């Protein structure tokens, strides 16, 4: 593993004050793309280091969000610690933080102070609700952002409760958006010579994903109903039952539906006066579901996946994680990779979703040991050996 | 509305061959950030123009994915149409497409051809499974990507079926990742002078969001169970019932849980030998749920939101879209904005989730009329009036 990156963001220095999930995901992506990410941790470290099942004393959960980073332990409660941070920021390109709004300002790193310290600095902030508005002081959490954004209310069966997504989508979508805003600000800086602030709120990120659910609300003033795994507007669509389990089928328009029904020898449905429009089919959902399941029941999932996909009908299995991570396609796409801990074991983490042709994302730094590069980083930023020794002695930094 | 953008991506020209959802979302974000997006449409237009409820003959669904773009109608089935596209690409910075893998190559715009035409061109591709591997020829669709990625299998009640998210998360997350990869490639190009390919697959995007679900699988080899709206590892957490409806509460660790229970006058729970560890509380879920609901039932959602948020307990309502889009916080964050159709009505669409301090995202182009800028764009790219007239006459372009 070389210490030198050749990714598109090579040469950009990120000072990363984030912890837990949204922020570390943002900075990990910047690192995957080649940036040098310096993770500033409090003496006890990012709490995620202690979360999840341990492998030889190391958290795989932490690995999944912190590859391609260097760790520096710095006590920001001390004035001398903040002086060190100022020194780092003066020579950095990007600062990322996910404190509650106002916290950075209270620490002495408000917008004006940062701009004076380093006018080229891009300051990325991720929070729950944004830094203006009546909820600015509310604590945020993924589950709550799913609830407040409307994302959760539209999920679930019509007769059941609203259903959260198990994956922390509001954290992670905010993290990706923040990375995008930051990189866009880097492009803008080429012209303006100046940095700027970039803020993403978890709730806002999920609102932006509501797609036709929001556009239908705006157009009709009606709240969309929950439709479970069925499509709100077309049928047949959803889960159907084969001999050995269900498959998901997305007959998103008539042309695909015709292929689907033809493959099942049910082509006549499309012209039968009982079912010859989508409206009629929506009303006859239960009848059609039974008819389709009766055909499908005679063959396996694999059989139907093979012939339906070949016929151009989007379909698949609801894979569990064992199936996903043993799927030959997922292997071909290298969506599981090995990553070493600095001074620790190598574990599996999800691969890189952004595939660049010339300068692919890669592991150029291990998952950092807490404070594993405190000395190296501070030395690179110009602190002398005696400064570093003094800071260590006074427990303002540790390694 | 000025025609000139001042966003960070100002000056970048995007040729957009995408349709429907993932690609148009990607290019819309690039447009929101200031890029000039030229949407190339077939003579019948992007199918989404005809989808969803119409407002004065215009699709709000289309508006939600196509603000800040210019539309050019170009028949790419004709050789002369492809010659026009070559001309556009020669002078562009970015091409984005979401055809099935291999389609662009068959059209004569494979990687080698594009690189020869314009070595600085960045080529962004979004697809379902990626352009290598056994599923490369399978048709993709959001619902199927949710199923195949494992995202859907972890959602839902333990005793119910796996549950898709109603929002098309695989499309949209892929779109955001693609925008990020493209902008990162722009940064890389400053140094290398060369463009490159950027590919994002919908399934891969969702795999990257599995967070602790995947890390726990990797660490334990066990498939996580569905836990509905409960947290898999901590309790109390989830939905609780007030006098007028439920609220979501995220007691993610003991410190927050203590605040929650104290606020409910249930502080004794933390030290009661029956409940004094998270493990015991997980086993006593139903008992604790009843106890908490009994306290909450005496007061309204607003009451509990007010005092729990003030106490630092992350909580919120599962808002429906009517509540979301009338939420004062959503208004303060300008997450609903008006956007005009070119020669049409003004409709509401979700606002910008990326908040830039100096050069904010804004509407600099309306939602384009089909072919509304065919003439203007081709003229700007150097086609003569007589060329344009001839192309119009031969129905290779239209306006």
Q: Mutation test of the interface with chain A: which of B98, B159, B257, B333, choosing the one with the most A Cβ atoms within 10 A? A: B333
**Which of B58, B231, B253, B364 is labelled catalytic?**
B231
B238-320: CATH class: alpha beta
- In A, minimum Cα distance to B217 occurs at A321
How much is the ipTM here? 0.98
Best CA proximity match to B157, nearest among B104, B225, B102, B105:
B225
Cα B33 to the chain's mean position, in Å?
15
- In B, minimum Cα distance to A185 occurs at B8
Instruction: List chain B residues with CB under 8 Å of A248.
Output: 143-144, 146-147, 152
Q: Which residues belong to CATH 3.30.1540.10 in chain A? A: 238-323
What pLDDT does residue A222 have?
Answer: 97
Could you give the CA distance from residue A178 to residue A185 in angstroms, rounded to a whole number? Answer: 10
Nearest by CB to residue A324, choosing from B150, B183, B313, is: B150
Distance from CA of A139 to the nearest CA of B (A): 5
Q: Do B149 and A212 touch (CB under 8 A)?
A: no
Within 13 Å, how many C-alpha atoms sit on residue A26's CB side? Answer: 38
What pLDDT does residue A4 have?
Answer: 53
Q: Alpha helices of B236-373 — where are they, by DSSP H?
A: 254-263, 278-283, 285-296, 301-310, 321-324, 328-332
Nearest by CB to residue B177, choosing from A181, A228, A354, is: A354
Distance from CA of B160 to the nearest CA of A (A): 10
Nearest by CB to residue B9, choosing from A51, A187, A197, is: A187
Question: CB of B342 within 8 A of CB of B367?
Answer: yes
Q: Which residues belong to CATH 3.40.50.10540 in chain A? A: 13-209+330-398
Q: Inform me whether the pLDDT recorded for B213 exceeds 90.
A: yes
Question: CB of A21 within 8 A of CB of A142?
Answer: yes
Q: Which residues belong to CATH 3.30.1540.10 in chain B? A: 238-320
Q: Which residues belong to CATH 3.40.50.10540 in chain B? A: 13-209+328-398
What are the Cα distances from residue A178, in Å, to A95, A126, A205, B291?
11, 7, 10, 40
Instruction: List chain B residues with CB under 8 Å of A171.
Output: 211
Q: Do A147 and B317 touch (CB under 8 A)?
A: yes
- In B, minimum Cα distance to A252 occurs at B141
**Pairs of CB atoms within 8 A across A/B:** 501
Strand partners of residue B92: none
Q: Do A55 and B149 touch (CB under 8 A)?
A: no
CA trace torsion A282, A285, A287, A292 (10° rounding): 110
Residue B30, helix vs strand vs coil: helix
Q: Do B211 and A167 touch (CB under 8 A)?
A: yes
- In A, minimum Cα distance to B318 occurs at A147
Instruction: List chain A residues with CB under 8 Å of B154.
Output: 166-167, 321
Q: What is the DSSP letter of A48?
A: G
Q: Mutation test of the interface with chain A: which of B65, B173, B184, choosing the one with the most A Cβ atoms within 10 A? A: B184
Give me the tens of pLDDT residue by residue for chain A, a chain 399 residues long. Answer: 444 568 999 999 999 999 999 999 999 999 999 999 999 999 999 999 999 999 999 999 999 999 999 999 999 999 999 999 999 999 999 999 999 999 999 999 999 999 999 999 999 999 999 999 999 999 999 999 999 999 999 999 999 999 999 999 999 999 999 999 999 999 999 999 999 999 999 999 999 999 999 999 999 999 999 999 988 888 999 999 999 999 999 998 899 999 999 999 999 999 999 999 999 999 999 999 999 999 999 999 999 999 999 999 999 999 999 999 999 999 999 999 999 999 999 999 999 999 999 999 999 999 999 999 999 999 999 999 999 999 999 999 999
The answer as to CATH 3.40.50.10540 being correct for domain B13-209+328-398 is: yes
CATH of domain A238-323: 3.30.1540.10
Report residue B222: phi and psi, to 5°.
Answer: -105, 140
A13-209+330-398: CATH class: alpha beta
Counting residues of chain B whose pLDDT is more than 90, the rounded percentage is 97
Q: Report the b/e string of B35-70 with b at 16+ CB within 10 A.
A: bbbbbbbbeebbebbebbeebeebbbbbbbbbbbbb
Instruction: Work out the pLDDT band at B234, boundaries 50, 70, 90.
Output: confident
Q: Do A320 and B7 touch (CB under 8 A)?
A: no
Instruction: List chain B residues with CB under 8 Å of A183.
Output: 180, 183-184, 187
This prediction's pTM:
0.98
Cα angle A40-A145-A151, degrees, rounded to a multiple of 5: 135
**B253 is annotated as an active-site residue:** no
For residue B26 the two structure tokens come to 């990607």
| pLDDT tens sequence across B242-263 | 999 999 999 988 999 999 999 9
């Amino acid at each position: 593993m070389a210490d030198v990156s050749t990714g598109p963001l090579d040469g950009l220095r990120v000072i990363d004050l984030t912890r837990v999930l949204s922020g570390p995901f943002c900075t990990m992506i910047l690192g995957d793309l080649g940036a040098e990410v310096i993770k500033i941790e409090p003496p006890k470290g990012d709490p995620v280091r202690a979360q999840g099942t341990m492998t030889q004393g190391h958290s795989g959960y932490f690995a999944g969000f912190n590859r391609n980073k260097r760790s520096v332990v710095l006590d920001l409660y001390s004035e001398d610690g903040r002086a060190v941070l100022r020194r780092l920021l003066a020579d950095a390109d990007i600062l990322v933080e996910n404190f509650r709004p106002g916290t950075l300002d209270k620490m002495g790193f408000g917008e004006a102070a940062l701009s004076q310290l380093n006018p080229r600095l891009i300051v990325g902030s991720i929070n729950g609700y944004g830094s203006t508005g009546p909820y600015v002081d509310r604590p945020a959490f993924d589950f709550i952002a799913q609830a407040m954004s409307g994302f959760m209310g539209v999920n679930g069966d019509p007769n059941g409760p609203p259903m959260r997504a198990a994956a922390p989508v509001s954290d992670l979508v905010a993290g990706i958006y923040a990375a995008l805003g930051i990189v866009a600000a880097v492009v803008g800086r080429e012209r303006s010579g100046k940095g700027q602030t970039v803020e993403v709120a978890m709730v806002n990120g999920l609102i932006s994903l509501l797609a036709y659910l929001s556009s239908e609300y705006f157009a009709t003033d009606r709240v969309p109903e929950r439709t479970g795994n069925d499509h709100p507007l077309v049928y047949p669509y959803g889960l159907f039952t084969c001999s050995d389990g269900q498959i998901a089928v997305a007959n998103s328009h008539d042309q695909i539906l015709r292929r689907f029904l033809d493959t099942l020898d049910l082509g006549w449905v499309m012209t039968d006066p009982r079912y010859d429009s989508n409206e009629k089919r929506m009303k006859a959902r239960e009848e059609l579901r039974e008819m389709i399941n009766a055909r499908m029941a005679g063959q396996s999932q694999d059989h139907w996946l093979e012939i339906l996909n070949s016929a151009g009908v989007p379909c698949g299995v609801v894979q569990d994680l064992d199936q996903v991570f043993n799927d030959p396609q997922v292997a071909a796409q290298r969506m599981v990779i090995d990553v070493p801990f600095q001074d620790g074991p190598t574990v599996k983490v999800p691969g890189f979703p952004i595939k660049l042709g010339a300068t692919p994302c890669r592991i150029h730094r291990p998952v950092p040991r807490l404070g594993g590069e405190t000395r190296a980083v501070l030395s690179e930023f110009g602190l002398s050996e005696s400064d570093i020794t003094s800071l260590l002695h006074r427990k303002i930094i540790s390694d």
